[in-house]
Amino acid sequence: MKRLKLGMVGGGQGAFIGGVHRMAAALDGQWDFVAGALSSNPERAKASGEELGLAGERIYTSYEEMAKAEAARPDGIDAVAIVTPNHMHAGPAIAFLNAGIHVICDKPLASTMEEAEAMAKAVRDSGKLFILTHNYSGYPLMRQAREMVARGDLGKIRVVQVEYPQDWLTEAVSNKQADWRTDPQRSGAGGCVGDIGTHAFHLASYVTGLQTESLSADVSTFVTGRQVDDNIHVLLRFSGGARGMLWASQVAPGHENGLRLRIYGEKASLEWAQAEPNQMHYAVFGHPVQRLTRGGAGATAAASRVTRIPAGHPEGYLEAFATLYREAASLIRHADHGVPLPDGVETPGLEDGLNGMKFIAACLASSAKDAAWIAF
Amino acid sequence: MKRLKLGMVGGGQGAFIGGVHRMAAALDGQWDFVAGALSSNPERAKASGEELGLAGERIYTSYEEMAKAEAARPDGIDAVAIVTPNHMHAGPAIAFLNAGIHVICDKPLASTMEEAEAMAKAVRDSGKLFILTHNYSGYPLMRQAREMVARGDLGKIRVVQVEYPQDWLTEAVSNKQADWRTDPQRSGAGGCVGDIGTHAFHLASYVTGLQTESLSADVSTFVTGRQVDDNIHVLLRFSGGARGMLWASQVAPGHENGLRLRIYGEKASLEWAQAEPNQMHYAVFGHPVQRLTRGGAGATAAASRVTRIPAGHPEGYLEAFATLYREAASLIRHADHGVPLPDGVETPGLEDGLNGMKFIAACLASSAKDAAWIAF
Amino acid sequence: MKRLKLGMVGGGQGAFIGGVHRMAAALDGQWDFVAGALSSNPERAKASGEELGLAGERIYTSYEEMAKAEAARPDGIDAVAIVTPNHMHAGPAIAFLNAGIHVICDKPLASTMEEAEAMAKAVRDSGKLFILTHNYSGYPLMRQAREMVARGDLGKIRVVQVEYPQDWLTEAVSNKQADWRTDPQRSGAGGCVGDIGTHAFHLASYVTGLQTESLSADVSTFVTGRQVDDNIHVLLRFSGGARGMLWASQVAPGHENGLRLRIYGEKASLEWAQAEPNQMHYAVFGHPVQRLTRGGAGATAAASRVTRIPAGHPEGYLEAFATLYREAASLIRHADHGVPLPDGVETPGLEDGLNGMKFIAACLASSAKDAAWIAF
Amino acid sequence: MKRLKLGMVGGGQGAFIGGVHRMAAALDGQWDFVAGALSSNPERAKASGEELGLAGERIYTSYEEMAKAEAARPDGIDAVAIVTPNHMHAGPAIAFLNAGIHVICDKPLASTMEEAEAMAKAVRDSGKLFILTHNYSGYPLMRQAREMVARGDLGKIRVVQVEYPQDWLTEAVSNKQADWRTDPQRSGAGGCVGDIGTHAFHLASYVTGLQTESLSADVSTFVTGRQVDDNIHVLLRFSGGARGMLWASQVAPGHENGLRLRIYGEKASLEWAQAEPNQMHYAVFGHPVQRLTRGGAGATAAASRVTRIPAGHPEGYLEAFATLYREAASLIRHADHGVPLPDGVETPGLEDGLNGMKFIAACLASSAKDAAWIAF
C-alpha cells in the first residue's frame, strides 16, 4: 500500500503543534511529508522547509500558491494539515478544499463563527474530507470509554465532570505560543475557552454521546491586562437529564495538561486522566473499583484497534494524535481509492468543529449575561 | 488535670455517628462518657446505655429530663454531644444550653432556618460554648492549609474547586442511615446539599478564609421517588474576586467519601483529598510540585499542634474528629476553670452552622430559579 | 461491661510509643489507664504520672514495686504495657507475669536471645497472656489479606516482596528515639533489623501463613560511626517453595514509614502499603486489578470485625494499634472472667516474638558469613 | 538533511518488537525503512515485505543475501535492525558488520557467551557502530536521573532497588512470543533473567553509573515444565560500597511491565516507574518530596535534549525507543559523513551487551551454587 502525501500550512521553526502533526503522521508509516507553506515569512518558510527535507519546489511562501500548485501536480498532496493560529484556519482550509484537497485542521475550527460557517460551506460544496484534530479522542481508552458507555456498561448517564487545568499562563508572559493565544485578533474572542475548553467539551461529548441542551458559564480573566479569558467554570445540562460541570483554566499552578474526565451512570462510572492515559478506573456500583489498562483485560474492540504495543508499555499523546492520522489515511484511501474502510474508523470533523464554536459562543454569551443559561 | 464529663443525645444501638463521637472523645483521654439519652425508644436507650457502661441513673429516656438532672448533679456533665438526625438538634441543644451545659452538635445545624435561629438565640443568651462538628477541619493538613493560605504562601486566591462525591445512594435504598437522610421531615429540605454539601462548603471556607458573595446552584434528584436532592452542582463567587465550583453527590459510583479540596492562588496551589489525608500537594508556580506530609518537612505550627504520631504513620478520620473534642476540652477548661487557652485552639461553631444553613437555603433557592445567582 | 485496668512501664515524658499505647487503649473505651512506672527517673516518673492523671499512689518509680503493689490491690491492673527500650523488656515482663498480671509488650521481644528465652519461660510458667504489639497486623486489610490467602484466593504463594524503608537515620543524629535504637546495649545487636525488619518479617509471615525455611542477608551500616545496622537486604525461602525478598532501611530519603507488602500466588496477587492503609490492590491473573477498600465491597469477616467506621473515612495507625488492645481485652475477659471469646480474636504473641528474635539472629549470622543461607 | 536507510532482519508478520523498531525509526523522520529479511520463511518474508511497502528486490529471504546485496547497492542501507530471537542475533550481526553496515540489535546480546564474544570481535574488527536497544535508557527522565546522579544531586549512592515484574507467564502458555522466550535453544539459558532481568540491570547501571562487583542470585522456575527461569531475586554489591536488590518476574499477577528504579544516596533519592514515565520523585533528605516531570521545572539538559512535546502531554515507550534511533542517526551521520555530533548523544552498545551476558551468566552460576556471591 502506497504512502499518502501530506502538505502543511504553518508549523515552521519555533512552532509547537506543527511538529506534533509531523510526528503523528510519521509514526505509522502511512504518510510522507512532502510540501509546505510553513511560514508567512518567506525566509523562515524556506529555512523551515529545508530543515525538514522538503524538495525546493514544494516549499511555498503562500498557501494559495501551494493549493494551486499541489492540485496541479500528478504527485500532489493527498491532504493538507493546517496548523496555524485560529484566525488563519479558514483561508487555507477553504483554498485547499476548493482545490480538491482533503483538509486536516487544528482546533478550534476558526476564530469567528463567520469563518466557521464559510469553512462548513466549503466542506459541503467540495465533498472533501475535513478532519479536526481533537486529538484526545484518539487515546485508546477514550475509544473504549465511548464504546462502554454506548453499550450500556454505565447505565444511563447522570453526571459528567470534565476539567482541563493548566498553569502556563499563571503570570503575564510573552512568547510565540502565548502571544497568539491571548490575542483576540488571532485566537478569536475566547482564550482558555477556545484553546482547551473546547477540548474538554469535545472529549466529554465524544465519550458520552450526549447532546448538550444548555450551559451556564462564569468566565474569568485573572491576569491583569490579559485580553481574553484564562479560566472558565461551566454548568452543563444534557438531553436525557444528565448534568455536568466543566472547568478549564490556564492559571492553575501545578497542572501541566490536566485533562480529566469522569462519567457517572446509574450502574457504574469511568474516570480517566491524560496524565496517566494508559489506565482508566471503572467502578460498578457495589463492586470494587477496577483499573482498566490500555490493552489489558477487558479491552474493547474499539480500543484494541488503535493500540500499538502491549499493555504496560505506555503510549502517550503522540500515539493518540497519530491515531487520527492513521484514521485519516484510511478515510482518504476509502474515499479516493475505494479501499474498504475498516470497521470503526472515525475522526472528529466538521460537526465537532461547529459544536466547538457554539461552545465558545455560548460560554461567552452566558457569562455576559451573568451566567444565564444559553440553549445550545 | 481532671477528665471532663461528656453526655450524649442520640447515638444508641445501630447509629453511626454516635460511636464516632465516643471514640473521638476517648482518644486523647480528656473525656469520660458518663450519661446519655441515647434513644427516644426507652428500651433501646436502656440497652444502649448499659452496653456502653453508663451508670443506671444516668441512662435517660428524654433529653429534657437529662438536661435537668445533669445540671442538678454536682458531678454533672461538662458538655453534651447531640448526634441525632437534623430535626432533633434544636430541641436538645436549646435545652442543654438553657441548663447551662456546653453543646457539641452534629452538622448541619438544624433542619430549618427557624430552628437554627432559635439555637443561635439560645447560644447567645446562655453564653455557653457551641461546637459544630465539621470534623474535616480537624485534619492537621487542613489546619496547615489554612495557615499557609493566611500567611500568603499561595498569593491571592483565584480559584477554589471543592467536591464531595459518594455513591451509597446510587440506588433507592432503605436503612437507618439512608432513611432519615432522605426524609425532608428529618433531614430538612436539603438532602445531599445538607449532608455533605455543607461539609464541602465549610471546608473550602475554613481553609481559604474567603467570604462567599453569591452562588448559583443546579440541584438534582436522580433516583426516582427520592424526596430530597442527591447531587448538587454549584458555582461560587467569593469576595475579592475568587471563583469556585462545588460538586457534591451521593450517586457517584466509585466514591466512598471523596472529599477533595483544591485551591489556586496567584503564586501557588494546594490539593488535598480525604482518601489520603496525610499528604497534600503544594505547587509553587514554576517549581516542581511538592508532597507535604502530616508531620513531615514544612509542617506548620497549626498542624503540628494537632498531630499525634510521626509522619508516615497515617492518622485518619477519627483522629481529626478527636481533635475537635480535644479543642473543645481546652475551650471548656478555659471557660469554666480559667485554664489558659493554648495558642491556636479553635473549632467550628455557631457562625459556621448558620453559614451552612444559608448555604443550603441559597442552593435550593437558586435551583428553584433555574440556577440564578443568590447573594450570600 | 466493666473497663479493664491498664498499667504501663516506660512511656514517660518525651517518649513516643507510650503515648501510642495509651491512645490505642483509650480509643474503644475498653481500658482505663490507672498506674505506671513511667520512667526510671523518679522525678520524671512523678511528673509524667501527674500529667496523665494517675492517682498519686499508683505512680511508681520501679517496676518491681509496681508489680508487687498492683498484684496486691483488689483493684489492681489487669495488664501492663511495657514500652521501654528493648533491653528493658525482659525484666518488667517477667516481674509482672510472675505477679500474675498479663503483659502487653512492645517489639522486638528483647535485646538478647537469653532474655527472650527467660521471658518465654515466664510466660509458660505463669499461664498469663503475653501480647506483642506487632501493630501492623491490626490493620483491617491485613486481616483481610490473611483471610484471602488462607482461603485460597491467591492460589499457592510463589513470591513475597516486603519492605520497610524509612529515612530518619539518613544522617548521624542524636535524640531520645535515635539514641537507644542505635545503641547495641539498649536495642540489642540489631539496629534496623530489629526495629523495623522484624515488623516487615512479622507482617509477611502473618499474612501469608508461610514458614520461613532459611534466609540470606546482606546487612549494612552506611552512616559512619553507627554501631548497629541501618539497612538490610534479605532473601527468603519459605516452606512449600515460595521465595521472597525483604528490604528494610533507615537511610532511604523520601520514606517516612514505607511498609509495603506484596504477595504473588499462582492465581492472584495482593499489594498493600501503610501509606494508604485503607486500600489494597487485588489482581486476579487475566482480570483487571481491583482496588479493595477497608469496609468496601469484598470486605471479609476478619476485616469487618475490626473496622470501626464506614469505607472512605480513613482509619490509620492508631486504629490498627487499638485493635490489638481491643483483642487483648477480649482475651483477658475470656481468660479471667469466662466471657466467651468472639470468633477470630487474635494478637501476636510469644511465638511471634521468638520468631522475630530468630530473624534478627539469622540475619546477623548470615551477614557475618557473607550472606550464607541460615536455616530458620 | 537526507534520511538514513534502515533494513531489518526479523520482524515479519506476527512479531512484536519489529513493529516497535519501525515505529521508533519513523517517529522523528530520520529513517526510511527500505529493506528486510523479515522472516526465515520465504512466503512470510515476501508477504511481510509487501505489506510494509518494501520494493520487491529488497525483500530478502536470507540475511546473508541481504547483507551482501545491500552492501553492494549505491543506495544500500545505512544500518540494519536485528529483531530476531536471541539465538539469531550473532549470525546476522556479524554478517552485516563484516559487510560494513552498522548494526542496531535487540537485547540481550546473544543466546550464549560464545556468540557474544564473536559479535564483540566483529564489532571491533569492523569498526562499525553497534547499538543495543536497552530502550528504557531512552526515557527523558532516565537521562535526567543519570545526569542528576552524576552531578551529585543524590550524594554518594548507598542503595539501589530495581525491579521488573510482569505477569504474562503466570500460567503455562504457548504463543509466538512466549514460545521462543521459554525455549533455551532460542532464548539462551536464561528466561526471565535474560528477557527482562537484563533490562533492569542495565537501567540501574546506566542511571547510577555504578560498577557491579558481585551478585548473589536465587533463580526460580515456578511454572511446572518450564525449561527456563521465570523469577529472579538478586542481591547486588557495587564498587564504592553501595548495595542493591533486583527482582524480575514473569509470574507476578497484576504487573504488566512494572519496571521500577529507586536510588538512595547520602543526600537524596530518586524513584521512577515505567507505568508513569513522565514523572520521577526526588526526595532531598529533610525536605518535601518533589515530583519532577518530563519537561517541567528542574528538567536537565540531558532530558530536554530528548524531549519532544511539552510537559503534561505524556510521552511513552515508543518515544523512548525512538530516541535510540535518533541517537543512532546522529552517530551514523557523524561516523559516515562527518556531521558534528551534538553534545550528549549516546546509546547502549557492545559493552552494555557484554555486561548483560555476564549478568545472565553470573545469576545462573550463583543460583547453581545456592546463591553464592559471584564476582562480576
Q: What does the pLDDT read at residue B29?
A: 94
**What is the helix (H) or strand (E) element at residue A359, kind and residue range?**
helix A350-368
Q: Look at A317 and D309 and tell me if their CB atoms are within 8 Å.
A: yes
Architecture field, domain C139-305+354-375: 2-Layer Sandwich (3.30)
* Three cell numbers, residue A55: 524538495
Residue B50 has pLDDT above 90, yes or no: yes
CA of A301 vs chain B CAs: smallest distance (Å): 25
CATH for A140-304+354-375, options being 3.30.360.10, 3.40.1360.10, 3.30.1490.190, 3.40.1390.40: 3.30.360.10
- CA atoms lying within 13 Å on the CB side of residue D132: 26
Instruction: List chain B residues with CB under 8 Å of C310.
Output: 16, 256-257
Instruction: List chain C residues with CB under 8 Å of B314.
Output: 274-277, 314, 316-317
CA of A152 vs chain D CAs: smallest distance (Å): 27
- Round to whole Å and give the CA distance between B260 and B246: 10
Number of C-beta neighbours around residue D125 at 10 A: 11
Q: What does the pLDDT read at residue A15?
A: 84
Instruction: Decide: C371 and D235 in contact? Cβ < 8 Å.
Output: yes
Residue B39 has pLDDT above 80, yes or no: yes
- The CATH fold assigned to B4-128 is Rossmann fold (3.40.50)
| Cross-strand partners of A104 | A81, A131
- Round to whole Å and give the CA distance between B136 and B146: 12
Q: What does the pLDDT read at residue C184?
A: 93
Q: What does the pLDDT read at residue A323?
A: 98
* Three cell numbers, residue C216: 540470606
Lowest-confidence range among A171-180, B156-165, C147-156?
A171-180
**What is the helix (H) or strand (E) element at residue B245, kind and residue range?**
strand B243-249
Q: Look at D288 and B287 and tell me if their CB atoms are within 8 Å.
A: no
Work out the percent of chain B whose per-residue pLDDT is above 70.
100
- CA atoms lying within 13 Å on the CB side of residue C322: 26
Q: What is the pLDDT of residues B150-170, one digit of tens each?
A: 999 999 999 999 999 999 999
Residue A1 has pLDDT above 90, yes or no: no
Q: What is the pLDDT of residues B333-356, one digit of tens each?
A: 999 999 999 999 999 999 999 999
Instruction: Decide: A199 and A107 in contact? Cβ < 8 Å.
Output: yes
Quick one: how far is CA B318 from the chain centroid?
12
CATH for B140-303+354-375, options being 3.30.360.10, 3.40.1010.10, 3.30.300.30, 2.40.50.1040: 3.30.360.10
* Three cell numbers, residue C48: 509524667
Residue D2 has pLDDT above 90, yes or no: no
Q: What does the pLDDT read at residue B15?
A: 84
pTM of this structure = 0.97
Q: Name the residue in chain C with its Cα closest to that of D249.
A: C159
Q: What is the pLDDT of residues B194-246, one digit of tens each?
A: 999 999 999 999 999 999 999 999 999 999 999 999 999 999 999 999 999 99
- Round to whole Å and give the CA distance between B168 and B181: 12
Q: Look at C293 and A288 and tell me if their CB atoms are within 8 Å.
A: yes
Task: Give exposure, D210-248, as e/b (b: 16+ Cβ within 10 Å).
Answer: bebebbbbbbbbbbeebebbbbbbbbbbbeeebbbbbbb
Q: Look at C312 and B166 and tell me if their CB atoms are within 8 Å.
A: yes
Residue D208: pLDDT band (50, 70, 90) is very high
Residue D1 has pLDDT above 80, yes or no: no
Residue B1 has pLDDT above 80, yes or no: no
Q: Look at A264 and B249 and tell me if their CB atoms are within 8 Å.
A: yes
Mean pLDDT for C289-306 is: 97
CA of C297 vs chain D CAs: smallest distance (Å): 19
Which residues are within 8 A (CB) of D153 and not within 5 positions of it... i.e. 6 or more apart? D267, D268, D282
**Where along chain A do its domains lie?**
4-128, 140-304+354-375
Mean pLDDT for C235-245 is: 97
Q: What does the pLDDT read at residue C194?
A: 97
Burial of C52 (C-beta count, 10 Å sphere; 0-12/13-18/19+) = buried
Instruction: List chain A residues with CB under 8 Å of B173.
Output: none
Q: Look at A288 and C286 and tell me if their CB atoms are within 8 Å.
A: no
The DSSP output letter for C250 is S
Q: Name the residue in chain B with its Cα closest to that of A281.
A: B254
Residue B268 has pLDDT above 90, yes or no: yes
Work out the percent of chain C whose per-residue pLDDT is above 70.
100
Q: What is the pLDDT of residues A217-271, one digit of tens each?
A: 999 999 999 999 999 999 999 999 999 999 999 999 999 999 999 999 999 999 9
Q: Does B292 reach chain A within 8 Å, measured CB to CB?
A: no
Q: Which of A19, A258, A318 sits opposite D319 (nearest CB)?
A: A318
Q: Which of A277, A293, A309 sits opposite D318 (nearest CB)?
A: A309
Q: Does A312 reach chain C within 8 Å, measured CB to CB?
A: no
Residue B187: pLDDT band (50, 70, 90) is very high
CA of B140 vs chain C CAs: smallest distance (Å): 14
Q: What is the pLDDT of residues A32-54, one digit of tens each?
A: 999 999 998 999 999 999 999 99
Alpha helix ranges (H) inside chain D = 17-27, 42-51, 63-72, 90-98, 113-126, 140-150, 176-181, 184-187, 192, 198-208, 301-304, 317-337, 350-368
- Round to whole Å and give the CA distance between B132 and B324: 9
Q: What is the pLDDT of residues C309-326, one digit of tens each?
A: 999 999 999 999 999 999
Site of grid cell 489487669: C78
CA of D289 vs chain B CAs: smallest distance (Å): 5
Q: Does C231 reach chain D within 8 Å, measured CB to CB?
A: yes
Q: What is the pLDDT of residues D335-347, one digit of tens each?
A: 999 999 999 999 9
- Determine the length of chain C: 376
Q: Does D265 reach chain C within 8 Å, measured CB to CB?
A: yes
Instruction: List chain C residues with CB under 8 Å of A289.
Output: 290-291
Residue B122 has pLDDT above 80, yes or no: yes
Mean pLDDT for C261-279 is: 98
Q: How far is CA A34 from CA A1, A52, D5, D113, D214, in A?
A: 18, 9, 18, 47, 54
Residue B270 has pLDDT above 80, yes or no: yes
Q: What is the pLDDT of residues D85-99, one digit of tens each?
A: 999 999 999 999 999
Q: What does the pLDDT read at residue D365?
A: 98
Instruction: Decide: A372 and A366 in contact? Cβ < 8 Å.
Output: yes
Instruction: Decide: A143 and A170 in contact? Cβ < 8 Å.
Output: no
Q: What does the pLDDT read at residue B14?
A: 84
Instruction: List chain A residues with CB under 8 Å of D28.
Output: 23, 26
Work out the percent of chain D whose per-residue pLDDT is above 70.
100
Q: Which of A1, A22, A27 sits opposite D23 (nearest CB)?
A: A27
Instruction: Decide: C264 and C279 in contact? Cβ < 8 Å.
Output: no
- Determine the length of chain B: 376
Mean pLDDT for D249-256 is: 98
CA distance between the termini of chain D: 43
CATH class of the domain comprising D139-307+354-375: alpha beta
Mean pLDDT for A182-199 is: 95
Residue B136: pLDDT band (50, 70, 90) is very high
Q: Does C251 reach chain D within 8 Å, measured CB to CB?
A: yes
Q: Look at C252 and D231 and tell me if their CB atoms are within 8 Å.
A: no
Residue C346 has pLDDT above 80, yes or no: yes
Provide the residue type at D34 as one letter.
V
- When the pLDDT of each residue in chain C is averaged and rounded to a whole number, the result is 97
Q: What does the pLDDT read at residue B189?
A: 93
Mean pLDDT for C220-239 is: 97
Residue D188 has pLDDT above 90, yes or no: yes
Q: What does the pLDDT read at residue C168?
A: 97
Q: Name the residue in chain A with its Cα closest to that of D177.
A: A310
Angle, CA B355 vertex, CA B354 and CA B358 arms, to 5°: 90
Q: What does the pLDDT read at residue A176?
A: 86
Q: Name the residue in chain A with its Cα closest to that of C295.
A: A288
Mean pLDDT for C130-138 is: 98
Instruction: Decide: A9 and A84 in contact? Cβ < 8 Å.
Output: yes
CA of C288 vs chain A CAs: smallest distance (Å): 6
Q: Look at A257 and D312 and tell me if their CB atoms are within 8 Å.
A: yes
- When the pLDDT of each residue in chain D is averaged and rounded to a whole number, the result is 97
Q: Name the residue in chain A with its Cα closest to that of C284.
A: A297
Chosen from C291, C292, C293 to mutate, greatest number of chain A CBs within 10 A: C291
Strand A157-165 with A260-265, pairing: antiparallel
Q: Which of D16, D277, D311 sits opposite A256 (nearest CB)?
A: D311
Burial of B172 (C-beta count, 10 Å sphere; 0-12/13-18/19+) = exposed
